[in-house]
Amino acid sequence: MSDNKPAVSNAFQAFAAEAPAQAGALMEMAKKLDAASALDKKTGALAYLAVLAALRMESGVPFHTMLAKKAGATREEVIGAILTGLPAAGISVTQSLPAALAAYDAS
């Protein structure tokens, strides 16, 4: 991550390489949903981290942590977002903390 570009997971890289039409369609939809959101970039990025942690999708956490940091999120806010799902999703959300903190601290 020395070039300050967030790393994309191996799974997403394979998806983009092996199914470029579907990956393009997904990215187009994501951009449109982002543009339609009433949330500011930082709040949206933190909410997305909370969802990733609740769904145990740790592979996306480093990339989205870096997006949150780029949008102005503090380390404490990233931790708070990851732990937001504790009451509903349980202790499993903590599985995302190491990846989030490593990504945040790497830049």
Of 90, 101, 19, 92, the closest CA to residue 68 belongs to: 101
Q: Are residues 32 and 69 in the same domain?
A: no
Residue 23: how many CB atoms within 10 A of its CB? 16
**Model pTM score:** 0.87
Instruction: Tell me the pLDDT tens digit for each residue of 62-88.
Output: 999 999 999 999 999 999 999 999 999
- Do 56 and 66 belong to one domain? yes
Return the pLDDT at 2.
Answer: 44
| Phi, psi (degrees; rounded to nearest 5) at 56 | 60, 40
Same domain, 48 and 28: no
Residue 6 pLDDT grade (very low, low, confident, very high; cuts 50, 70, 90): low
Which residue range forms the structural domain that includes residue 88?
A: 39-107
Task: Based on the fold, state whether residues 25 and 60 are members of the same structural domain.
Answer: no
Are 56 and 98 found together in one domain? yes
Q: Can you tell me the mean pLDDT for 17-28? A: 97
| 8-12, 26-30, 63-67, 98-102: the lowest-pLDDT one | 8-12
One domain for residues 58 and 30: no
Distance CA 67, CA 42 (A): 8
54 and 82 co-located in one domain: yes
Closest C-alpha among 39, 98, 95 to residue 71: 39
